[in-house]
Amino acid sequence: DNIMRLRNLVTTVGLVIVGFISFVVFATPASASLTVCNRAGSKAFVAISYYSGDSVWSKGWLQLNPGSCGTAFAGRVSNSDIGVYAETFTGVVESGDVRRCVIWVQDQSSWTIRNADNPARCRGRGREMKGFRVFRTNDSPDYTYEVFD
């Protein structure tokens, strides 16, 4: 009788542990990302730059209507240096001193460039080195960046 109680107790404790582990694993968000929101008065065209492995990448164009947000990068961005360059129909609204290659939206609406910090990779039709504003995402796996006029 005591052996049966012990067996039931062990089974119950095991099920509680499995249930707790399942809750922790499945309650954790499955993805993280860099989100960009357009707070400017007109449509924004956003390019980002980031490090992956030992390469610098640039990626564009995230096209955002005024007041909308979109995912610029899917994946953990904690403690990352991210660059942003953005233009609207009224001009450049976000730029900085860190030069990265982009492809004009008129030539290619979606692109990714490896070694985007190398001007030699920026030769060809519609390619141009632009100044990106670089910021650090800190500890959060998700980060939201806002573009203003």
Specify the pLDDT at position 113: 95
Per residue in 9-36, pLDDT (tens digit) is 444 444 334 343 333 333 334 456 889 9
Specify the pLDDT at position 25: 34
How confident is residue 77, by pLDDT bands cut at 50, 70 and 90? low
Specify the pLDDT at position 140: 76
Least confident residue range of 25-29, 44-48, 130-134, 140-144 = 25-29
How confident is residue 106, by pLDDT bands cut at 50, 70 and 90? confident
pTM equals: 0.76
- Going from the C-alpha of 124 to that of each of 26, 67, 109, 120, 139, the distances in angstroms are 47, 34, 16, 10, 38
| Closest CA relative to residue 71, chosen from 139, 143, 133, 130 | 143
3-class DSSP string for the chain: CHHHHHHHHHHHHHHHHHHHHHHHHHHCCCCCEEEEEECCCCCEEEEEEEEECCEEEEEEEEEECCCCEEEEEECCCCCCEEEEEEEECCEEEECCCEEEEEECCCCCCCEEEECCCCHHHHCCCCEEEEEEEEEECCCCCCEEEEECC
